Structure 1
Amino acid sequence: MPQITNPILPGFNPDPSILRVGDDYYIATSTFEWFPGVQIHHSRDLANWDLVTRPLNRASQLDMRGDPDSCGVWAPCLTHDGERFWLVYTDVKRKDGSFKDAHNYIVWADTIEGPWSDPIYANSSGFDPSLFHDDDGRKWFVNMAWDHRVRPLLFAGIMLQEFDPVAGKLVGPINNIYQGTDLKLVEGPHLYKRNGWYYLLTAEGGTAYDHACTFARSRTIDGQYETHPDKHILTSKDTPLAAIQRAGHGDIVETPEGKTYLVHLGGRPTTQERRCVLGRETSIQEAYWGEDDWLYIKNGPVPSLHVEVPGTRDEEKYWAEQLYTFENGLHKDFQWLRTPETERIFKTENGKLTLFGRESPGSWFEQALVARRQTHFSYDAETLVDFKPTDERTFAGLTAYYSRYNFFYLTVGAHSDGQRELLIMASEMSWPDGKLRFPAAPVQIPPEGKVKLALTIRGRKLQFFYAMEGEDLQPIGPVLDASLLSDECGGHQAHGSFTGAFVGVAASDLNGTASPAHFDYFIYRPQHDASDRYEV
């Protein structure tokens, strides 16, 4: 059987929920504050995956304006009951401190492409919900429960309640079916049924380097679940040199031939500081059922970098340059922050992407920022912008972005006298005050004409470049530390930053006049580099 190199979904693709319908596999992953919500990838061989939809794409389903960084859509669960697809998800409105405001919803569709329904509100008792379809036709909703009173009771166990699809609500008693192990922080539940056992797969240990997949089972769905004899079927917590770290939060699928696989999140740290610039990615492991009816990971519990799956990955596609033009709208690789009112922040017309300058790069409400995931440790990016700033409060350009507290931004702006200039804004590790740093003096440019903006990232080294249209690129500013655009530097305490690095274009108008910035194209060009651990 062919062997692939993990991850199968590189870059920011955490909390995978996997499903097989016939010969088709689907994985849903978290998108947090990036809109539209939830990424769903499709494969027929477990090796090659294509993004097919982001189902939460209108205001009636999702409005994240005001959601802080790393809030929004957490841990979706994608299932199929033999007739239709079901998706459950959380919209987190607050996560820091003792309280969590986390609202859980259910949507459905007849086909994976949709249209997906408006949501049914389920509950707000915790996060990481999933839906289980029992063989007697009943449906069960599980989520972790949050207790705000005192640690370690914040993660208070896994709650089970029946879902009535006709009534459109949760019904009947609520049972706490599992409190986890001594690793604590039990979350991410998924239910399965096999050989008369109900199985519960959870995540434990937080989202950092103690993360793990824990397995348990019971003869009844609402019974107290006994923990796997090994406790954690997948983890890197005791193996700091493993290529895939932070492994946990998984889901199980079986092939038509009866093979079992587990997909899970994990990070590939670089630098001596162990920074995961690409965020938490989705990897896959082969598993098997023992004679004791427990699931085990082949060569586990440490995740393998190389795994046998039915297909052979198209490596040429992974390394291909992506030239994005806008004749047919915005490419599916791109997302934006929080808002469902896209017409207020961008449009595609006459082959160009126009951004309407809105709030600052630190806003939790309405930023005009359109970007794609960084999926390689080393790459080039380039764009051509036509922008006429009026003063220092109007600027647009190219950004490498993690969060409001961590970004680098090469802008076309103006001095207070209207003189057009280039300026690098840096907000790296600026939590909690969010203050900007300016790594280089402004560079004056002509009052008219398009400006080419580019950056290169080689491992942890980021360099910006610029040129007037038709001229050669030249560097601007010093080499910056790209490794700061990582979960570990995302602006929160441990277990608090959950996304990954993006690169894209942005526009701000702090005067409130929505100044337009026109972009002709965007290039993302992967580069082979010694720092890229994805290379085989």
Structure 2
Amino acid sequence: MQYTNPIVKGFYPDPSICRVNEDYYIVTSSFGYYPGVPIFHSKDLVNWKKIGYCLSRESQLPLFQSHEFPKRLVGKTGIYAPTLRYHNGRFYMVTTNQAHYRNFVVWAEKPEGPWSEPLVLEWGGIDPSLLFDDDGKVYISGTSAGHGEPEGIYQAEIDLETGKLVSARKLIWEGTGGPYPEGPHLYRIGNLYYLVIAEGGTEYGHMVTVARSNHPYGPFECCPHNPVLSHRNTNLPVQATGHADLVQAHDGSWWAVCLGVRPTGYPYHHNLGRETFLVPVMWSEDGWPVFGDQGRIHLAMEAPSFFHGYVEMPVRRDRYDFDSGTLGNEWNSIRNSMEGICSLKDRPGWLALYGTEFGLDDLEAKAFVGRRQQDLICRVTTLMDFSPMKEGEEAGLTAFMNENSHYDIAVTGTNGKRLVMFRRRIGSLWKIEREDEIVSDSIILSIRADETDYRFTYTLPGGEEIEIGKGGIFYLSTEVAGGYTGVYFGMYATGNGKDFQYPAYFDYFDYQID
């Protein structure tokens, strides 16, 4: 039986995996979105369900901007490359918060939480990982911290009760010569220590390389088959494969999760972000891991022996009616703005968004609630009830890559008129492409995506659907917009310099695979 890659679609990069008996868990990067570090559960490595977040309180994940830290786009700040491990009945998640330049660890007795407050670690660089060795020692691995340190993978013994190092920080491997050696994971397999890292940058030259040693500090022997995973210089439908984490399944087989992208067009560009892929791992006679099909991943591959089929057929439609008292796990805000800017109680069955002075272009927290685009061809629709009371008040629906790259359909008040508009923001350029005057408070807004364009439409009560504009996906791709995230479909509100007087209400949100 075969499974289909990616196993977790959309912007879910830098996956890390651990097994507890016959249960499997994955965490991924979340950058400037909140809550942070989504965690997934599976029984078969193929069917995955998001069960929560490791960082769901602002005290765990401060993403605010201040004079101490430079302002960054949402796709370049926040959480980089978490690692998930399980030891003696406790889950540990270690990661980097680039918003405040610190590495930290949190822990929980159950994967769905509650997770502890962060313990800040005496450790620089990014991409920290942990190994709980058989002798009770705990090793932390990571990248160069800069400040004159050569590039490479660094390691030390650490005390997770205090966050302090108990041995000197040591450079253990410089990789094979590819740029940006990062994403290290150290494993003890038998009597050997295997070091798996990423090289080449998280782009089209991305790759996985391996070394091994008799000692956790080396010297490390370079695998003669490196890179053990890379799609560089190929025309395969999956590209930029790398940043892998190994796991031995309960049936004795070996697997890895890694990131990759599904680009379109020529030259290649991708807008869904880096996604999570599953790859089988075999072992050569001389004890080296062989990833996938001789270092290649396919969209369809032979499944684990304990995979008995998909739990559900691929969902064609996700409907959110906002009838419960809390938002589901699909939803995120930008930075720490979920509380106070949205309510599910003001009007039962509706999501209320209270616009602040900050809009989609601003690098501060804003009134935004969105979910990832996970499919190249899809459509999102929402029914909004909004009456702008002040000049410049605005609310609507956005295809959002970052603060410099987004397309918006919104209702706004201008010169005493109520307008529905379509706007494109591309880098330093922005333009309102079209404005139509309307009189109704109620309006259906929709975005339809395909492999080339986003198309924006609106429908007034009793009226026909009207297309108001479109924008190419190329300009919302990582290759153009930059950063490390993917496109979100979001509901938003802003006073464009002033706080809202009354909220914008959203009755439902449909995500449909066309």
Q: TM-score range by the shorter chain?
A: over 0.9
| Paired residue total | 500
Contact 1:234 1:302 in 2 (8 A): yes
More deviation, 313-322/190-199: 313-322
Contact 2:122 2:163 in 1 (8 A): no
CA 1:317/1:367 → structure 2, altered by over 3 Å: closer, same or farther?
A: farther
Structure 1 match to 2:203: 208
1:228 aligns with 2:216: no
Q: Look up the equivalent residue of 2:513 and give its one-letter code.
A: P
1:314 aligns with 2:310: yes
1:521 aligns with 2:496: no
Structure 1 match to 2:335: 338
Structure 2 match to 1:289: 283
Structure 2 match to 1:89: 95
In structure 2, distance between residues paired with 1:354 and 1:212: 44
Unmatched tracts of structure 1, length 5 or more: 94-100, 528-536
In structure 2, distance between residues paired with 1:314 and 1:439: 44
2:455 pairs, out of 450, 460, 463, with: 463
In structure 1, distance between residues paired with 2:64 and 2:162: 30
Structure 2 match to 1:508: 494
CA 1:224/1:364 → structure 2, altered by over 3 Å: closer, same or farther?
A: farther
Structure 2 match to 1:444: 437
The SS at the match of 2:344 is strand
The SS at the match of 1:488 is helix
Structure 2 match to 1:324: 320
Contact 1:217 1:226 in 2 (8 A): yes
TM-score, structure 1 normalization = 0.90
CA 1:347/1:313 → structure 2, altered by over 3 Å: closer, same or farther?
A: farther
1:352 pairs, out of 344, 350, 353, with: 350
Structure 2 match to 1:147: 146
What is the CA-CA distance between 1:316 and the residue it aligns to?
A: 5.4
What is the CA-CA distance between 1:17 and the residue it aligns to?
A: 0.2
The SS at the match of 2:339 is helix
1:483 pairs, out of 456, 459, 474, with: 474
Q: Look up the equivalent residue of 1:500 and give its one-letter code.
A: G
Unmatched tracts of structure 2, length 5 or more: 66-70
* Residues 93-492 of structure 1 mapped to structure 2, 5 A cutoff: 93=99, 102-123=101-122, 125-148=124-147, 156-239=151-234, 241-310=235-304, 311-314=307-310, 317-328=313-324, 329-339=326-336, 341-349=337-345, 350-358=348-356, 359-415=358-414, 417-428=415-426, 430=427, 433=428, 435-440=429-434, 442-446=435-439, 448-477=440-469, 479-490=470-481, 492=482
More deviation, 299-308/70-79: 299-308
What is the CA-CA distance between 1:312 and the residue it aligns to?
A: 4.8
In structure 2, distance between residues paired with 1:360 and 1:449: 21
CA 1:482/1:391 → structure 2, altered by over 3 Å: closer, same or farther?
A: farther
Q: Look up the equivalent residue of 1:321 and give its one-letter code.
A: R
Contact 1:121 1:169 in 2 (8 A): no
Q: Deviations over 1:22-51 (max 9, x none)?
A: 111111100111100101111101111100
In structure 1, distance between residues paired with 2:486 and 2:314: 18
Contact 2:458 2:468 in 1 (8 A): yes
Structure 2 match to 1:44: 43
Q: Look up the equivalent residue of 1:484 and give its one-letter code.
A: Y
1:68 aligns with 2:72: yes
Contact 2:352 2:504 in 1 (8 A): yes
What is the CA-CA distance between 1:317 and the residue it aligns to?
A: 4.0
Contact 1:390 1:418 in 2 (8 A): no
> Aligned Cα RMSD in Å?
1.6
What is the CA-CA distance between 1:290 and the residue it aligns to?
A: 1.7
The SS at the match of 1:191 is strand
The SS at the match of 2:272 is coil
Q: Look up the equivalent residue of 2:343 and give its one-letter code.
A: K
TM-score, structure 2 normalization = 0.94
What is the CA-CA distance between 1:357 and the residue it aligns to?
A: 0.5
Q: Look up the equivalent residue of 1:443 and give its one-letter code.
A: D
The SS at the match of 2:430 is coil
Q: Deviations over 1:231-284 (max 9, x none)?
A: 211001132x11110000000011111100111100010011211111111111
Q: Look up the equivalent residue of 2:492 and give its one-letter code.
A: A
In structure 2, distance between residues paired with 1:307 and 1:168: 41
The SS at the match of 2:229 is strand
In structure 2, distance between residues paired with 1:454 and 1:175: 54
The SS at the match of 1:443 is strand
Contact 2:319 2:511 in 1 (8 A): yes
Structure 2 match to 1:534: none
In structure 2, distance between residues paired with 1:54 and 1:122: 21
